[in-house]
């Protein structure tokens, strides 16, 4: 990518890789394979995050419109992905619950396929996507600019950690901030030192625990709203609650470790 400074090259590469992944999985989305659904959402989320984090370095109108289209696509796939996550939850393994989830998934696949057939233009906007040139990427973004952005993301995470998050919404906000930071960090992972490698691993591990807690909360809501027999629901809720207790016990240690590793990385990165 001639004419781009190092930061711009790395950002462009990260966006192009995510666009290629999105196109590959979105091309097969009508089959509704769980892998395609998940990977399309991950790629979409990564692109949206990078465009938002570096919004000052793109053409605002094109970046905002692209983010909007990606958001629509992600919401279209959201209910199906939620069902796939619920089906993989260890507390949802009874035959009655599995049958109910499978039935709900078949109905959601039909809805998704109808939605996709009625949204050809928007599907093309997501599948093709604007080029880096069309997005108007600033060619003068330096590696130092990227590193300062990562440090800024960490300061936000640190503020959220300092608030000792316990409630669902606070933990959700922290999880999103960790994702946004990780996406930028992964642009630099070939060039980070030992502290950076530890930080990236810690970001992933913390996200995994917070994500599992969110999945358990979603499982509880789904079960409580289901029309399954009450004994089936009560038994599944007990299983989900047991896992929630285990995860809640892990969370304080995971967050403390993130704080320690993050402070060590931040000092070495300044």
Residues 164 and 219 in one domain: yes
Write down the pLDDT at residue 200.
Answer: 94
Domain end (from 89, 106, 141) = 141
Last residue of a domain, one of 115, 141, 167: 141
Q: What is the pLDDT of residue 247?
A: 94
Residues 90 and 173 in one domain: no
Contacts of 10-15 spanning 24+ positions with Cβ under 8 A? 10/143, 10/146, 10/187, 10/188, 11/50, 11/54, 11/57, 11/137, 11/141, 11/146, 11/187, 12/132, 12/137, 13/187, 14/46, 14/50, 14/183, 14/186, 14/187, 15/47, 15/50, 15/51, 15/132, 15/135
Domain that holds residue 227: 142-270
**Rama region for 16: left / alpha / beta (φ>0; ψ in -120 to 50; rest):** alpha
> What's the CATH code of the domain at 127?
1.40.20.10
Long-range contacts of 52-55 (CB under 8 A, 24+ apart): 52/180, 53/149, 53/153, 53/180, 53/183, 53/184, 54/11, 54/141, 54/149
pLDDT in single tens digits along all 270 residues of the chain: 567 899 999 999 999 999 999 999 988 888 999 999 999 999 999 999 999 999 999 999 999 999 998 998 899 999 999 999 999 999 998 999 999 999 999 999 999 988 888 766 666 667 778 899 999 999 999 999 999 999 999 999 999 999 999 998 999 999 999 999 999 999 887 778 899 999 999 999 999 999 999 999 999 999 999 999 999 999 999 999 999 999 999 999 999 999 999 999 999 887
At which of 99, 120, 141 does a domain end?
141
Decide if 261 contacts 202 (C-beta within 8 A): yes
First-to-last C-alpha distance (Å) of the chain: 28
Task: For the chain, state the CA radius of gyration.
Answer: 20
Query: Do residues 254 and 152 both lie within one domain?
Result: yes
Q: Closest by alpha carbon to 222, among 128, 118, 82? A: 82
Structural domains in the chain (count) = 2
- Same-domain check for residues 149 and 166: yes
In the DSSP assignment, the letter for residue 102 is: H
Measured CA to CA, the distance from residue 157 to residue 14 in angstroms comes to 22
């Amino acid at each position: 990518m001639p004419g781009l400074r190092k930061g711009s090259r790395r950002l462009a590469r990260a966006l192009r890789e995510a666009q290629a992944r999105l196109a590959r999985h979105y091309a097969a989305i009508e089959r509704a394979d769980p892998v395609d659904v998940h990977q399309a959402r991950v790629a979409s989320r990564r692109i949206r995050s990078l465009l938002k984090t570096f919004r000052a370095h793109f053409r605002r109108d094109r970046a905002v419109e692209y983010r909007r289209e990606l958001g629509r696509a992600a919401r279209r796939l959201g209910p199906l992905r939620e069902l796939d996550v619920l089906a993989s939850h260890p507390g949802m393994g009874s035959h009655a619950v599995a049958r109910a989830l499978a039935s709900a998934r078949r109905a959601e696949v039909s809805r998704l396929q109808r939605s996709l057939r009625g949204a050809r233009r928007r599907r093309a906007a997501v599948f093709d996507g604007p080029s880096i040139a069309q997005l108007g990427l600033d060619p003068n973004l330096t590696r130092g600019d990227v590193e300062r952005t990562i440090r800024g993301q960490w300061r936000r995470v640190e503020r959220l950690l300092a608030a000792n998050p316990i409630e669902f919404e606070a933990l959700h906000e922290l999880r999103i901030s960790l994702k946004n930071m990780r996406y930028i960090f992964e642009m630099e992972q070939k060039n980070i030192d030992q502290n950076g490698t530890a930080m990236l691993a810690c970001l992933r591990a913390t996200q995994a625990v917070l994500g599992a807690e969110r999945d358990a909360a979603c499982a509880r809501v789904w079960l409580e709203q289901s029309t399954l027999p009450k004994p089936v629901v009560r038994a599944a809720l007990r299983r989900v609650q047991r896992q929630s207790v285990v995860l809640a016990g892990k969370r304080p240690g995971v967050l403390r470790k993130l704080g320690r590793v993050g402070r060590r990385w931040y000092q070495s990165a300044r």
